[in-house]
Amino acid sequence: MGDALLCVRGLKVGFPTVDGVVKASNAVDLTIQAGETLALLGETGSGKTVLGMAILRLLQPNTRIEGEILYRGRDLLSLPQEEMQKIRGREIAVVLQNSGTSLNPVLRVGDQIAEAITLHRGLKGAEAEAAAVELLERVRIADPARMAREYPHRFSGGMRERALIALALACSPSFLIADEPTRGLDAVTKHEILALFSEINRGRSVLFITHDIEAAATLATRVAVMYAGEIVEIGPVDAVLSSPAHPYTRGLLESLPARGMRPIPGSAPSLIAPPSGCRFFPRCPCSVGRCETEHPGLVPVGPGHCARCMLYD
């Protein structure tokens, strides 16, 4: 494949809990090209955030991780801590879900951004502060000079999300992981943030984790869909959204209020003891006999478009 920036191979992530190991990621393979935006859609709890955090190596220490995560050819999983720290600062940045908890509540927003700028770009004092205000302006926070002096709790949900994007941009990363960055934004603001992202993502790779199918459609070049710790469909954005191959993806699209709001019956399977065959089998309207016992692999269904389903074997 062309210019792979990031290449995830056979990634398995397990969290030990009192009831057993939660297998949040089951042999995930994923490649992100330089300059591309890949949208990651999928079920709540299917392992999207975990995948992003695994790439950044920000999972809690007792987590079991197997596989390879190659970034520019180097395996991030075997890098020493301090090397990883450098990559996290300068190369890969993240905009996190739960913005309420990822800004430091006792520091002024402008100071937090200035600190990151000092750390990554070497600007100091007034210069760094000015650059912070500039970043806040770039993410379209009204009255940026005044807001830079405010504490995060004074920001509304939408404003905090913008501040976080500014914080992530402080180090001019070449790879950005954004976890639901448009969550909690009103339609007009969301529109603006998406426009902002389509500026930011020029010349930069972005892993865009979202539940917002329209946002994925506007921003991404490719889409991956996750279900119960696995990628069940991946392909060019138009192909996946206009002719979805996997029954889960189809169900997801039909759940949209504008498309009838028909939820997929049943609930997500256990990740401690997942179904042994196809993980979607208990809820799948199209299942065939062997779906219950055989675990399907990802098979091609179109140009650059794959689905994990027996129907295409």
Partner 1 sequence: MIDVCDLKTYYSTGFLCRTEVRAVDGVSFGIKKGETLGLVGESGCGKTTLGRSLLRLIEPTGGRVVFDGTNITALSRKDLRRFRPRMQMIFQDAYASLNPRMRVRESITEPLRIHGLEDRAGIGRRVRELIEMVGLNEEHLNRRPYELSGGQNQRVVLARVLALEPEFIVADEPTAGLDVSVQAQILTLFRDLGRDYHTACLYISHDLGVVRAMSDRVAVMLKGRIVEIGPTADVLDRPCHSYTRRLVAASSADRGFSRPAPCPALPGSPVMVEVQSGHWVEAAAR
Ligand X SMILES: Nc1ncnc2c1ncn2[C@@H]1O[C@H](COP(=O)(O)OP(=O)(O)O)[C@@H](O)[C@H]1O
Piece of the chain touching ligand ATP by CB under 6 A; list 134-142, 150-158, 171-179, 244-252: 150-158
d(CA 92, CA 87): 6
Closest distance of CB 256 from ligand X, Å: 18
245 binds ligand SF4 (CB under 6 A): no
214 binds partner 1 (CB under 8 A): yes
Interaction partner, residue 286 (partner 1, ligand SF4, ligand X, none; CB < 5-8 Å by kind) = ligand SF4
Interaction partner, residue 205 (Mg ion, ligand SF4, ligand ATP, none; CB < 5-8 Å by kind) = none
Say if strands 175-179 and 4-17 run parallel, antiparallel, or are unpaired.
Answer: unpaired
User: Which element (helix H / strand E) includes 5?
Assistant: strand 4-17
| Residue 192 CB-density burial (10 A; 0-12 exposed, 13-18 middle, 19+ buried) | middle
CB-side neighbour CA atoms (13 Å) of 126: 0
Closest distance of CB 169 from ligand SF4, Å: 39
| Tokens at 236, concatenated | 């060019």
Residue type, 243: S
293 binds partner 1 (CB under 8 A): no
Under DSSP, is residue 45 helix (H, G, I), strand (E, B) or coil? Answer: coil
Residue nearest to ligand ATP (CB): 157
Per-state percent for the chain, helix, strand, coil, to nearest 5:
40, 25, 35
Site string for partner 1, 217-236 (x = CB under 8 A): xx------------------
49 binds ligand SF4 (CB under 6 A): no
With CA atoms as reference, report the closest residue to 193 among 172, 184, 228, 279: 184
d(CA 95, CA 201): 13
State the residues that interact with ligand X by CB under 6 A: 15, 17, 22, 24, 44-50, 60, 271
State the residues that interact with ligand SF4 by CB under 6 A: 246-247, 278, 280-281, 284, 286-288, 291, 296, 309-311
State the residues that interact with partner 1 by CB under 8 A: 15, 17-19, 22, 41-46, 49, 97-98, 100-101, 150, 154-159, 180, 183-191, 211, 213-214, 217-218, 251-252, 255-258, 261-264, 267-268, 270, 272
